[in-house]
Structure 1
Amino acid sequence: MELRKLLEKLEYECRMGKMEGSVDALVYDSRKVTQGCLFVCISGAKADGHDFAKEAAEKGARVLVVEKDVEVPKELGTTIIKVADTRYALAFLSAAWFGNPAQQMKVIGITGTKGKTTTSYLVKAILENAGYKVGLIGTIEVIIGTKRLHSLNTTPESYLIQEYFRQMADDGCDVVVMEASSQGFKLHRTQGFIFDLGIFTNLEPDHIGQDEHADFEEYLECKALLFRQCRVGIVNRDDSHWREVTKNHTCMIETYGFDEEADLSAQNLSLIKRPGELGILFDVKGLMDFTVEVINPGRFSAYNALTAIAVCRHFGVEAEAIRKAFMEARVKGRIEMVKVSDEFTLIIDYAHNAMSLESLLSTLKEYEPNRLVCLFGCGGNRSKMRRYEMGEVSGRLADLTIITSDNPRFEKPQDIINDIKIGIERTDGKYVEVCDRKEAIAYAIDHGEPGDIIVLAGKGHEDYQEIEGIKYPMDERDLIRDILKERGWKENMQTS
């Protein structure tokens, strides 16, 4: 591709070499440098691409894009382009390299502390039910037609985003729905295109630490960037931060929520409880007017559903198509009900910190179960404080906690369990410990009582268990299936 064409949307300075000619590849990993490529020097957390600039030139890189000064022998004939920020530049270079594929589709970006994953799948389900072809980029996976790829990041590197967009456009997608993380905005992964719709679900203190955001203010500001990069912003009016997040917006703004002043509101919420199944029913008012049932429990499920409705309204989807989609849509590992018995309800959920676990258990208590049983563990090589907090939350809200193993990584599972017990023993909560996760799930099923709600928390969509640096296959659905088969219950299992 012609170098000038690649750079046309960037401000830059040619520090050395010629601007004429083309490049044969766009690369940002020094290990992938090839003859005639353009190499973008990225300053990463663990390595700095600028340190490999000379090596890349010696390997035949035709162009280097840098944000720092580098020393490269002139006789190599390398062109050096300096920009203010190479991550920002990579996003625009990637978009140009793949032919600006976002311009061929409608792109929906969803940001927020919670609800991004579930909402993205709901939007996908509704739009597909209405006849659209939809690609998805998110925490769990990337979906391009029939192809499903495991995700490494909620929001991938900008080059990968544009590569996925290109594949989606070529596959005939009309729409892309993607989770837009604060880290993705901070690292400019979502630059190089405009979102047609930008959605804000909620904001709570999270992702604050050495390798993420310096403080809550930075976290909020990164979320707010979406509303300077979209055409229409759709925000949760019930969230106390919604005005701050949209303060410097450059888009049209719509609101949704339980607040009756919202442009689209949910009213008259009621709980649905059937054998092995929990859900909600509510009225949609304002920009649309109909009643909808969602086979997922709790107020946050109503928020997710309402968010999806607010999005899909822009695609002319009618109420009946929305109702139908909600009855069929399921999200792996997000309040995923696994029907094993008419006597009790079994749920798999990704809740893996105190905030998400408290939200989940508080919601389920509203359904007045005979007992609320919570099975969980905590990840190894992570904060001990998370273990104490999760233990305390479960001890306070659950009638019985089953403490087990999660991803122990390089720690001993029993040591992690002992930390969880420190938190749970601050409460009056009853607990048992069963270190092996399959045995713990079997214990929960074997001891299920009529009217119980049993939650398997922490693993959710994950299909592995990480031990000593190795990810071993382990999917809770398979564990449940094996347990039921061993007990002669196989025919009863239904995953929703």
Structure 2
Amino acid sequence: MKLIDVMKNLDIIDFVGEKTIEINGIAYDSRKADQGYAFVCIEGLKTDGHQYIPQAIEKGAKVLVVEKDVEVAPNIAVIKVKNGRKALSRMGANFYGNPSDHMRIIGVTGTNGKTTTTHLIKQILETNRVNSGLIGTLSYKILDKEYKASNTTPESLELHRLFHEMLINEVNTCTMEVSSHSLELGRVADVGFQIGVFTNLTPDHMDFHGSTENYKRAKTMLFYQTTVANIINIDDPYGNEIAEEIKRLSTNLIRYGVNKQADIYAENIQTSSKGTIFTLVTPKFSGEVKIKTPGMFSVYNALAAIGVCYALDFSFDQIKEGIESFHGVSGRFELVPNTGDHTIVVDYAHTPDALENVLKTIQGFAAGKIITVFGCGGDRDKTKRPMMGEIAGNLSDYCVITSDNPRTEEPQSILNDIEIGIKRTQCKYKMILDRKEAIREAVRISKENDIVLIAGKGHETYQILGNTVIDFDDKKIAQEILREEV
């Protein structure tokens, strides 16, 4: 593709070079640059792409996209822009033929529930023979191909490449998780969303956004990019605010919840350890729906997915078949298989709201004690640590506080932050830094009818200690410990 076509609709401050040269690819990582590439310099949180210009040119880059003045050989074209990330997004869309304009893109944003909701939507679509791609925390899926996820929402260049690959494989619908970071940083600025979904919002990523209001504002950006419908949880106070803000837009607004003032709601809700049954009510139809996961959070996830498929004119029977064939998502309220009497649940709950939801769900059917193993991530929002300690203490009979992904923080200092909150409760607890030993302790003290919750990492198969990544899978570790007991 010629450079002039890659540059289309780019906000250019200055340009030096030849616009008709052929561009073979785009890179923002100098290690991935190649002959005839355009190298986009991005100022990140930890590094500055401008530092790697010599390496990119050595690899064969013929075009530089920069935010700063640079001096290079005259055979290198230089495009100066105000924002490198926005330029990367626009150039990526141009290079891959604006693929999202030829697809049905469904974006799901919120603090909790994004992963399960996207998988539920995909299940309903595929049950009804719609080829559907998926982009999210666990992986990126195109038919039988699955790629390891680098971020919940990939960088814009990868995003447009994935959409392009989907179209080549005759996948014209994609459901994706849309993180607040991706919205704030412009990774999805050139994605043509048809439908947007808001699940809920609780304080998170305060180290990045600075305030809950900024966090909400970032989430709200999605709903100004949609063309068909916005599906909003109005039982969530922030969701209700967003619904009021965007109701003047031309897109169809569908409110969901368990409140009867919603357009789509659930009533007659019955939950147990085996799952949940509720009556679905919509403006067009109603009927009983069964889901295989327990808890109110599961009802909300189901309603979000139902709202999307309702907006796409699916019938009740089509929605019901898809929802009821869904078996859950790895690391989301996942029971650990074992041959003994132990009940162990692994869940990704790593925010105060998510931890509260999963513990309240367990309280709803627990016949014995609730033993909770959890920690908090390092180099992340510290304010939620005592909050999670207090929540776990109030809703558990015993807690084992341990390491999550401490990263470059001192692990014991993270546990100390959590302890501040748990001390406000009457809950007995123990602090064990080694996560495997913490799980072992919880299993050791559990009796028949007790439930052990291992929270915080869910699907993750690693632990980040300092700058080292080690293999660590909560479910496998629990199974290993159970085998040792036999």
User: When the two structures are superposed, what TM-score results if normalisation uses the length of structure 2?
Assistant: 0.89
Closer, same or farther: CA 484–142 of 1 in aligned 2, 3 Å: same
| 1:296 lines up with 2:293 in the alignment | yes
Partner of 1:491: none
Partner of 2:222: 226
Closer, same or farther: CA 115–384 of 1 in aligned 2, 3 Å: closer
For residues 18 and 434 of structure 1, the distance between their equivalents in structure 2, rounded to whole angstroms, comes to 62
Task: Tell me how far 1:457 sits from its aligned partner.
Answer: 0.8
SS at structure 1 position matched to 2:141: strand
For residues 233 and 349 of structure 1, the distance between their equivalents in structure 2, rounded to whole angstroms, comes to 28
Aligned residues: 480
Task: Tell me how far 1:91 sits from its aligned partner.
Answer: 0.9
Partner of 1:359: 357
Counterpart code for 2:253: I
Asked whether the 8 Å contact 1:127–1:317 carries over to 2, the reply is: no
Partner of 1:269: 269
For residues 221 and 388 of structure 1, the distance between their equivalents in structure 2, rounded to whole angstroms, comes to 26
Counterpart code for 1:406: D
For residues 262 and 320 of structure 1, the distance between their equivalents in structure 2, rounded to whole angstroms, comes to 21
| 1:375 lines up with 2:373 in the alignment | yes
| Structure 1 segment 83-482 matched on structure 2, within 5 A | 83-209=81-207, 212-231=208-227, 232-242=229-239, 244-246=241-243, 247=245, 249=249, 251-272=251-272, 277-287=273-283, 288-327=285-324, 328-340=326-338, 345-367=343-365, 369-380=367-378, 385-410=383-408, 416-482=414-480
Task: Tell me how far 1:309 sits from its aligned partner.
Answer: 0.8
Name which of structure 1's ranges 145-154 and 185-194 shifts more when overlaid on structure 2.
Answer: 145-154
Task: Tell me how far 1:63 sits from its aligned partner.
Answer: 2.4
Closer, same or farther: CA 344–60 of 1 in aligned 2, 3 Å: closer
| Deviations 1:446-468 (CA, angstroms, capped at 9, x unpaired) | 44334333211112111112334
Asked whether the 8 Å contact 1:107–1:177 carries over to 2, the reply is: yes
Closer, same or farther: CA 343–198 of 1 in aligned 2, 3 Å: same
Asked whether the 8 Å contact 1:335–1:349 carries over to 2, the reply is: yes
Name which of structure 1's ranges 77-86 and 459-468 shifts more when overlaid on structure 2.
Answer: 77-86
Asked whether the 8 Å contact 1:53–1:72 carries over to 2, the reply is: no
Task: Tell me how far 1:429 sits from its aligned partner.
Answer: 0.7
Asked whether the 8 Å contact 2:2–2:19 carries over to 1, the reply is: no
| Deviations 1:248-296 (CA, angstroms, capped at 9, x unpaired) | 5453322211222222111121222xxxx34221111123311111222
| 1:62 lines up with 2:58 in the alignment | no
SS at structure 2 position matched to 1:283: strand
Task: Tell me how far 1:384 sits from its aligned partner.
Answer: 5.7
For residues 165 and 29 of structure 1, the distance between their equivalents in structure 2, rounded to whole angstroms, comes to 20
Partner of 1:492: none
Counterpart code for 1:47: T
| Deviations 1:377-404 (CA, angstroms, capped at 9, x unpaired) | 3344556654433332222220111233
Partner of 1:47: 47
Q: Report the RMSD for the aligned CA atoms in angstroms.
A: 2.7
Closer, same or farther: CA 423–312 of 1 in aligned 2, 3 Å: same
Name which of structure 1's ranges 190-199 and 141-150 shifts more when overlaid on structure 2.
Answer: 141-150
For residues 372 and 473 of structure 1, the distance between their equivalents in structure 2, rounded to whole angstroms, comes to 27
Task: Tell me how far 1:374 sits from its aligned partner.
Answer: 1.0
For residues 128 and 306 of structure 1, the distance between their equivalents in structure 2, rounded to whole angstroms, comes to 18
Partner of 1:19: 19
For residues 57 and 486 of structure 1, the distance between their equivalents in structure 2, rounded to whole angstroms, comes to 56
For residues 432 and 82 of structure 2, the distance between their equivalents in structure 1, rounded to whole angstroms, comes to 54
| Deviations 1:144-187 (CA, angstroms, capped at 9, x unpaired) | 22332222211111001111112222233232111011110111
For residues 383 and 200 of structure 1, the distance between their equivalents in structure 2, rounded to whole angstroms, comes to 22
Closer, same or farther: CA 227–353 of 1 in aligned 2, 3 Å: closer
Asked whether the 8 Å contact 1:228–1:250 carries over to 2, the reply is: no
The sequence identity of aligned pairs, in percent, is 40
User: When the two structures are superposed, what TM-score results if normalisation uses the length of structure 1?
Assistant: 0.88
For residues 42 and 4 of structure 1, the distance between their equivalents in structure 2, rounded to whole angstroms, comes to 21
Task: Tell me how far 1:344 sits from its aligned partner.
Answer: 5.6
Task: Tell me how far 1:303 sits from its aligned partner.
Answer: 0.5
Closer, same or farther: CA 175–441 of 1 in aligned 2, 3 Å: same
Partner of 2:4: 4
Q: Structure 2: which 5+ runs fail to align? A: none
For residues 120 and 267 of structure 1, the distance between their equivalents in structure 2, rounded to whole angstroms, comes to 23
For residues 382 and 47 of structure 1, the distance between their equivalents in structure 2, rounded to whole angstroms, comes to 18
Asked whether the 8 Å contact 1:391–1:424 carries over to 2, the reply is: yes
Q: Structure 1: which 5+ runs fail to align? A: 489-496
Counterpart code for 1:260: K
| Deviations 1:29-60 (CA, angstroms, capped at 9, x unpaired) | 23444343222222222233345557756765
For residues 333 and 458 of structure 1, the distance between their equivalents in structure 2, rounded to whole angstroms, comes to 9
